[in-house]
Amino acid sequence: MMAEQQGNPEPPKNGQDPETENAEKPEKQPEEELPPFEIVTGSRFPSFFFKFQFRNVEYSSGRNKTFLCFVMDLQGKETGTFRGYLEDEHIAAHAEEAFFNNILPECKAGVKYQVTWYVSSSPCVGCAERITAVLKKNKNLRLMLLVGRLFMWEEPEIQDSLRKMKAAGCKLKIMGPQDFDFVWQNFVEQEEGQEGAFMPWEDIQENFLYYEEKLNEILQ
């Protein structure tokens, strides 16, 4: 059992692979034009992406995708539970925008929407503004947002956008070990020998506590 942490938590470790830490830096290649933007959707994604993209490290170098796993419960004139994930490619748009554009383009009258997102990192300012606007417009929508990491949380604009999301009714939380396990069980492709076996990384709990403290400070 992990001992209770005292004082200010240390910043999350960067999660770099030990064998690459001392490797020679590759020569800088000329920049190539990115292919057209696309949104990837589905029910499960490869475990490699989960282990890399969802890891709750402080420095997200190389983690240039956003994975958004959703559970949407409908009650009222329409009922049902829907699950899936969205993955954005490149920088033209983000998974949060894609959810409202492709998965839930409108909230119908007489239907209550209870939506939970499990996202690899918290939203940028633009996506936070879209979330805030949608929640203000649709009072029959409830959104809980659980994030693995805080994106650029030191920036005043980011902090302000997160507070506006909260004021609009969004419940914003940091993913704990049990939430990573839920994503593993419900949204990750289970390879042979991996079925039902979520293996937490060494610093998962201390990184969760670090980000939880920072989020609480921002939302006060």
Distance between CA atoms of 1 and 54, rounded to whole angstroms?
23
The two tokens of residue 137 are: 């417009």
Which domains are present in the chain? Answer: 37-219 (3.40.140.10)
Bridge-partner residues for 74, per DSSP?
80, 113
Relative orientation angle of helices 156-167 and 125-137, to the nearest 10 degrees: 10
38-69 pLDDT, tens digit per residue, is 555 666 877 777 887 778 887 665 566 788 99
Nearest to 135 by CA among 160, 159, 164: 164
Which of 18-22, 106-110, 119-123, 167-171 is the least confident region? 18-22
Sign of the dihedral through C-alpha 134, 136, 141, 143: positive
Burial of 110 (C-beta count, 10 Å sphere; 0-12/13-18/19+): exposed
Catalytic residue annotation: 96
- State the residue for tokens 């559970």: 71
pTM of the model: 0.78
